Amino acid sequence: MVSKKFVIENEQGLHMRPAGVLAKAVTKFESDVTIVFEDKKINAKSLLNIIGACIKCGSEIELVCEGADEEAALAHATELIESGLGE
């Protein structure tokens, strides 16, 4: 299991577009990818669950990857989140 913490800097938080970019990207990996936010565990492969979590700008999240390709999954997600998830 590998993990990393991030602060969401998208102006409107993880709404439709950035959440979609993230969910779409991590779905390609075999590993389970989970967002830990305010004690909640959210499946990062589910756009609906991410949106439902209402993760706002400035929130801290932890991304947890677990599985055969966990390193690659985390590295890819890190790159995306740090570059603003398409925004």
The catalytic residues are 15
Using CB under 8 A, count the residues that bind another protein: 19
CB closer to another protein out of 4 and 15: 15
Q: Supply 11's token pair.
A: 């102006």
Contact call for residue 28 and another protein (CB under 8 A): no
Binding letters toward another protein, positions 57-86, x by CB under 8 A: ------------------------------
- Write down the least CB distance from residue 19 to another protein, Å: 9
Query: Distance between CA 59 and CA 36 in Å, rounded?
Result: 11
User: How far is residue 75's CA from residue 70's CA, in Å, rounded to a whole number?
Assistant: 9
**Dihedral sign from CA coordinates of 69, 37, 7, 86:** positive
Smallest Cα–Cα separation from 52: which of 16, 82, 21? 16
Which residues of this chain interact with another protein, rule CB under 8 A? Answer: 11-13, 15-17, 20, 23-24, 43, 45-49, 51-52, 54, 56
